[in-house]
Amino acid sequence: MSSNDSSSHHNASPLPLSERQALALKRLQHELDHPPFHALFAPQVVSADPDAGVVVLRLPFQPSFRRSADSDVIHGGVIAAVIDMAAHAAVAVQIGHMAPTIDLRIDYLRPAPGKDLIITAKTLRVGRSVERAEVEINTGPNTPLLAVGRGSFSTLSNQ
């Protein structure tokens, strides 16, 4: 999309940080908007760092996320879905294309209150065919972890 001279070539010098971050944010938004399933959650992009392989999302609370009509606790399925979504996004931002989930593990540490959630995903290891990422969920800075997850994702293209 950029009409810069050689900055769009893979063998050229790295893009300036701001341009790399702008491309990462665009990729992240694409990964969140592409699957229709994600529209049910309406996650919001907070930040993306392609060099560190880190993305941060905000999940605005919706009453439909509750585990029952008379509970203020978010259903575990919502937590699992956003862990998968965020981990995949961190990988995709770093490698530049979709990365299907191979394996996903979630540890629920405490009930998630009916509030907006902050989801931080970080890539751990990039391989030729598999990348691993970990995710932490809380309600904001200096708040207890509610859940953590770790997943493996295919880095092979054309999937």
pLDDT value of residue 120: 97
Please indicate, yes or no, if residue 8 is contained in any of the structural domains.
no
In a domain, 92, yes or no: yes
Cβ atoms 156, 129 nearer than 8 A:
yes
User: pLDDT per residue over 51-85, tens digit each?
Assistant: 888 999 999 999 999 999 999 999 999 999 999 99
Joined tokens for residue 64: 């439909």
Structure tokens that stand for 61 in this block: 């609370």
For residue 48, what are its two tokens? 């993306």
Nearest-angstrom CA–CA distance, 11 and 84: 32
Token reading at 148? 């953590």
CATH of the domain at 102: 3.10.129.10
Q: How many domains is the chain built from? A: 1
Q: Characterize the bridge pairing of strands 54-59 and 117-126.
A: antiparallel
Q: Give residue 54's domain range.
A: 17-154
Residue 142 confidence (pLDDT) = 94
Neighbours of 25 (CB within 10 A): 17
By the 8 A CB rule, do 61 and 48 touch?
no
For residue 17, the model assigns a pLDDT of 53
Domain-located, residue 146: yes
pTM summary value: 0.81
pLDDT (0 to 100) of residue 124? 94
Q: What is the mean pLDDT of each run of 10 residues along the chain (159 residues)?
A: 36 54 74 75 86 91 94 96 94 85 97 97 89 97 96 83
User: Considering the domain boundaries, does residue 28 fall inside one?
Assistant: yes
The answer to whether residue 4 sits within a structural domain is no
Q: Given this model, what pLDDT does residue 128 score?
A: 84
